[in-house]
Amino acid sequence: MNTETLDPRARLRQLLSIPESKRTDAEWDEIVSIEIDLGPGKSIPLPKSDSSQPGGPGRGGPPRQQNKKPKGPWKQKPGKKPPQPV
């Protein structure tokens, strides 16, 4: 089976559908490897044909966040004392 052409998430779902007691060592190793690759802070490019991404194809950048307050100068919360210089 050619696993290189599959999306890593699809391959992981496929491997996880195998009962734990029937997985080979190679399958376990592949599961661990894919989970590491897909872990927090990692990015694996999705196939180019995926139009479910925000903004869709050809939109030119990330979508704007709505209902977000503009950032202004920092203000101290009432009742807090400023830090003492050392």
Q: Note the pLDDT tens digit of each residue in 2-23.
A: 555 678 999 999 999 999 999 9
pLDDT band at residue 38, thresholds of 50, 70 and 90? Answer: confident
- Of residues 51 and 62, more confidence is placed in 62
Does residue 18 belong to any structural domain of this protein?
A: yes
The answer to whether residue 25 is domain-embedded is: yes
CB atoms under 10 Å from CB of 27, counted, come to 15
pLDDT at residue 85 in the model:
75
Residue 47 inside a domain? The answer is: no
* Confidence band for 84, pLDDT divided at 50, 70 and 90: confident
Within a domain: residue 68?
Answer: no
Domain that holds residue 19: 8-37
- Tally of domains in the chain: 1
Count Cα neighbours of 39 within 13 Å in the Cβ-side half-sphere: 6
